[in-house]
Amino acid sequence: MSQPALPISVGRHGRRHLTLWDAVAVLLIVGLFAFLAEAGRGFVEPLAHLRAQSISLDPARLPDYAARTALRMLAAMILSLVFTFTYATWAAKSRRAEAILIPLLDILQSVPILGFISVTVVFFMSLAPGLAFGAECAAIFAIFTSQAWNMAFSFYQSLRTVPDDLVEVARGYRFGTWMRFWRLEVPFALPQLVWNMMVSMSGGWFFVVASEAISVGNTTVTLPGIGSYIALAVERRSLGAIGWAIGAMLVVILVYDQVLFRPLVAWASRFRVEQEAGGAAPTQSWVLTVLRRSPLAAWLAAPAGAAMRWSYRVLPVRDSSTPGADATATSLTDRAWPLLMAAIAALAIWRIAVFVGAGVPWTEAGTALLLGLLTMLRVFVLILLASIIWVPVGVWIGLHPKVTRIVQPIAQFMAAFPANLFFPVAVSAIVMFRLDPDVWLSPLMILGTQWYILFNVIAGAAAMPGELRDIGTNLHIRGWLWWRRVALPGIFPFYVTGAIAASGGSWNASIVAEVASWGSERLQAHGLGAYIAQATEAGDYHRIVLGIAVMAGFVVVINRVFWRPLYRFAERKFRLT
């Protein structure tokens, strides 16, 4: 997609004059810096002052709370991008690194957010004693853990499926590793990555209550934000306050959509893989239009572009190996590497066993395994139901760009809806109708994770080459045959990526969904998530480690036995070549 010409106004003496586009761009940039400065002031305030300020349900405080929550989520998103570009790239380009990084990523996405908080909160609090900075870092890291894994899986999948003809073109032009990464691999991965950034941001909203209202044993820290506001509203059973919180969330999500995600989607649409001219109409964004038409914005961005071009010349030019293979790997090293990984895994298991055995009877390990089986059954059933519902919907949305522009902010808002806000309805209904919590609390697990499937399927349908759709139209392929020959092959790699993230996210969400409270009413389902939530609330680190280890073991085994073979099949069978 070609960029429109910049309407630069030039005077008689060749000097540039500010245009209306410059004025709008300046407002955007100054507004961004003002927002960062105002919301960031609380990061360096004394911790005693923070603890002295109690959270208020006054709606007038919500703008400040919303700004601070939005800043934490933005900081976590930036960290997630840095993690994605380094971790996923290393895993995709090195076979030895992949052997340990991808299983480790499986474990990381299975560790509940309460597990990260319980282990890291003391560390972050010690970084800046007496200041709120440590607590802010703990909250940002907790939100990071709800965003990064999905983005890393998405980027890894994209790097593994870069079309061979594009790789050969890059080699023909003697692209170096650095240049090939930024000029080929990142642009190819960008459309899917942007959609996963959106769902990851929504995933951060889903766990924002746990990240801002931290309670681990004797350590209790409540940070001003929408999450702590919601926690207090649930505790006091204030439906009016919950309504105000929902409104504040909607405003923040719409601002993020207009200022960040819609421009990214519109810009990333230029990198779709098409072999024919034309195609679907690109997504429009007024922010992107302002930045493209503002000479001032172009002038401010010029140094970054010049630095990037300079880096292409400075870094050495060499022919990169294909993703997933090390050209210099020796047979001896290849044989020794699995043994080394097995030794490290055995050492980790032994240390966990020693720590858990010091405070928990071994008979309880069997109880944790049984609870894990119950949670696993819930996850399988919910992923199946979510796939049946959202795959057809996602394909239809992705194939209609106008519908995509309408649905995008709505889907973000629904994906961002914290499970805690459904507790009033869920708890009241279960108590009123005397329902079984083991069954009727289960849907809360999929509320935040089903959107991984929807967003990835939308990304896959939107990225489907136009010629593939045209072939189906010209051959009059309809009904189930169209789904089997056109739609499902086109979106299958994207669906598998979303399903893996949804599966791991559902395990994570079980700590929120299997224990629901509304005022004095407290319901609990039998499952591993409830076990970990109880241990975290009591500050019992032995049981926390046991629960996390069992959950990580379930997720790794399921991914190794089921999801990874399916992933390899999608990569091999449906890769664009």
CB 77 within 8 A of CB 471: no
Predicted pLDDT at 380: 92
Higher pLDDT, 319 or 411: 411
- pLDDT score for 323: 46
Is 21 a residue whose pLDDT tops 60? yes
Amino acid at 114: L
Q: Would you say residue 324 has pLDDT above 50?
A: no
| 389-418 tens-digit pLDDT | 999 999 999 888 888 878 877 877 777 776
Find the mean pLDDT for residues 487-496: 87
List of residues 6+ apart from 54 with CB closer than 8 A = none
End-to-end alpha-carbon separation of the chain, Å?
22
Confidence of residue 277 (pLDDT cuts 50, 70, 90): very low
**Residue 35's pLDDT is what?**
72
pLDDT of 201 over the 50 cut: yes
Q: Cα(544)–Cα(370) distance, rounded to whole angstroms?
A: 16
Asked if residue 218 has pLDDT above 70, the reply is no
Q: Which tens digit of pLDDT belongs to each residue from 453-470?
A: 998 899 888 878 777 777
What would the mean pLDDT of 19-30 be, rounded to a whole number?
Answer: 75
Q: Which percentage of the chain shows pLDDT scores above 70?
A: 86
Question: Residue 541's closest CA among 89, 287, 217?
Answer: 217
Per-residue CA distances from 475 to 280, 468, 470, 471, 485 (Å): 20, 11, 8, 6, 12
Helix (H) or strand (E) holding 522: strand 521-524
Please report, for the chain, the start and end positions of each structural domain, with discontinuous segments joined by +. 46-271+336-573
The mean pLDDT value for 64-73 works out to 89
Q: What pLDDT digit, counting tens, does each position of 519-566 carry?
A: 677 788 899 989 988 887 787 888 988 998 898 889 888 888 898 888
Q: Write a three-state SS string for 72-120.
A: HHHHHHHHHHHHHHHHHHHHHHCHHHHHHHHHHHHHHHHCCHHHHHHHH
- Of the given ranges (52-61, 74-83, 331-340), which has the lowest mean pLDDT? 331-340
Which residue from 554, 519, 551 is spatially nearest to 535, judged by alpha carbons?
551
Confidence at 473, pLDDT banded by 50, 70, 90 = confident
Token pair of 468, please?
Answer: 């593939």
Residue pair 60/286 in contact (Cβ under 8 Å)? The answer is no
pLDDT of amino acid 152:
93
Which range, of 89-93, 113-117, 187-191, 340-344, averages the lowest pLDDT? 113-117
Residue 330 has pLDDT above 70, yes or no: no
Range scoring the smallest mean pLDDT among 272-281, 358-367, 543-552: 272-281
Across the chain, mean pLDDT equals 80
Query: Does the pLDDT at position 248 exceed 60?
Result: yes
Q: How confident is the model at residue 151 (pLDDT cuts 50, 70, 90)?
A: very high
The predicted model scores a pTM of 0.77
What is the predicted pLDDT for the residue at 519? Answer: 65
Instruction: Say which CATH topology domain 46-271+336-573 has.
Output: MetI-like fold (1.10.3720)
Rg over alpha carbons for the chain, rounded to the nearest Å, is: 25
Confidence of residue 503 (pLDDT cuts 50, 70, 90): confident
Phi (first) and psi of residue 220, to 5 degrees? -130, 120
Q: 433-444 pLDDT, tens per residue?
A: 888 888 888 888
Q: What would the pLDDT profile of 74-121 be if each residue is shown by its tens digit?
A: 999 999 999 999 999 999 988 878 878 888 887 787 776 766 776 777
Q: Could you give the 3-state DSSP secondary structure of residue 540?
A: coil
